[in-house]
Every structure is written in C-alpha cells, then in structure tokens.
Amino acid sequence: MSQPALLSDVGKVLIDFDFSIAARRLAEQCDHPAETVLTLFDDIKGPYEDGRMDDATFVREAMAVTGFRGTKDEFEAIWCDIFAQNEPMHATLGALQGKLPMYLLSNTSGLHKDYFLRTFDIFRHFRGGVYSYSAGCSKPGEAIFHHTIRQLEIDPARTFYIDDLQPNIETAARLGFRTFHYSFAKHPRLQEELDEWLAAQGIG
Ligand SMILES: [Mg+2]
C-alpha cells in the first residue's frame, strides 16, 4: 500500500500570478494597448501549454503577433516575471518537510515551469511533478490525473490534492483524492483540514 502524499497545483496556490504586469510591459514595446495585447495570445497559449508547440516556436509566434520590438530574451523575461510566492503556504509546507512526499500537478509551459522552479524557494519542498506541456494533456481532463497517479506512484485515497479551480477539484474528487478547493483567503481553513487529514494518516 502506498504512503500518504500531498499533490498541489501551482498557480494561485503556491505562487500568485498577474498577467497584467506582462501586458503593461509588452504594450511599451509594441503597437497594442495593455488592455488587449494578451488577447493576441489566445490561439497559441493553449497549444503551447498542452505541449503541441515548443518554447522557441511560442516565443517566435508571440513576438510576431504582437509586433514586439525587443529581443527574444526581453520577451521571455517579461513573459515570466508575473509571479509572487505565497508565503503562508511556504510556511505550511516547510513544516511538512520530510513527513510525506509532496508533488506538483500544473497546467503550465516549459518557460514558466523552468522559471518558477529556479526562482522560488517554495518549490524546494517538492520531490517532482507532472506538467501539462510535457504530459501532452491538461486539467481538468482525467487523463493527466491518471498519468500523475501512474508516474508518481501515488494512491488517490491517500493523497491530499490542492487546487484553486473548481473543475480540477471535481475531477480529482471523482478519482478518489482528498481535495481542498484553495484560495489565499482560505489558507487558515486549509491548515486545519490538512492537520486533521495528517493526523488521520498517522502523521503528526
Ligand atoms: Mg491554479
């Protein structure tokens, strides 16, 4: 029987993000206003996060559709500099270090994953993870959850799953995970439910 584990979404759980920061900085270097520049990514963001488009192609197409006047490195820096660490969650997970394995499950792209893993200390708590762009499928579909259960060798019945999006929580609950629908304001509630669950798993 597999041991208890914690599985967590990334955006709006471990780190906050604000694409409007990127929109303002992109608008300074192209002919589109900050209010609408992000809509130009609508057709390429999905394929990119599902792994059907690689980093280089995404950056090339994104620079082309916006008419971005800066360099490729400047574009990548703007695209990635939208995150901030969730400090209460950093403290919660730090206290669990060594008590159970913790893993990530995120709909994300290669550029963003590489950026957040190397930038924020909170990711030191995690042993590994599954990402939509490399799995070739995304939440809330069941396929990426099945892939995660197999790859990480976790038992949904003994895994506490945290996500901020209700459709993802519904899929996880259907597959037997213990779930928590997260928001930053609900962090104290998460701590209570996590503590109760850990005690029930025999982890003090
Ligand atoms: Mg999220």
Residues by chain with Cβ below 5 Å of ion ligand 1: 9, 11-12, 164
Please give the helix or strand (H or E) that residue 177 lies within, else none.
none
Instruction: Please give the pLDDT value at position 191.
Output: 98
- In sequence order, the 6+-apart residues with CB closer than 8 A to the CB of 2 are 153, 154, 155, 158
Q: Where are the beta strands (DSSP E) in 10-167?
A: 15-17, 83-85, 102-106, 128-131, 159-163
**Beta pairing class for 15-17 and 83-85:** antiparallel
Instruction: Please give the pLDDT value at position 1.
Output: 53
CATH of 5-15+85-200, one of 3.30.200.20, 3.30.70.3450, 3.40.50.1000, 2.10.260.10: 3.40.50.1000
CA 25 / ligand 1 centre spacing (Å): 23
pLDDT by residue (tens digit) across 151-188?
Answer: 999 999 999 999 999 999 999 999 999 999 999 999 99
pLDDT by residue (tens digit) across 108-159?
Answer: 999 999 999 999 999 999 999 999 999 999 999 999 999 999 999 999 999 9
Averaged pLDDT score across all residues of the chain: 96
CA 7 / ligand 1 centre spacing (Å): 12
CA 69 / ligand 1 centre spacing (Å): 31
Instruction: Please give the pLDDT value at position 204.
Output: 73
CA 16 / ligand 1 centre spacing (Å): 9
Q: How many CA atoms lie within 13 A of 83 on its CB side?
A: 24
Q: What is the mean pLDDT of residues 6-10?
A: 98
Calpha distance 117→132 (Å, rounded)? 15
Calpha distance 106→115 (Å, rounded)? 14
pLDDT by residue (tens digit) across 51-108?
Answer: 999 999 999 999 999 999 999 999 999 999 999 999 999 999 999 999 999 999 999 9
Instruction: Please give the pLDDT value at position 3.
Output: 92
Residue 116 structure tokens: 């957040």
Q: What are the residue ranges spanned by the domains of the chain?
A: 5-15+85-200, 19-80
Using alpha carbons, select from 154, 149, 104, 150 the residue that is nearest to residue 125.
104
- For residue 93, give Cα distances in angstroms to 6, 166, 200: 10, 22, 18
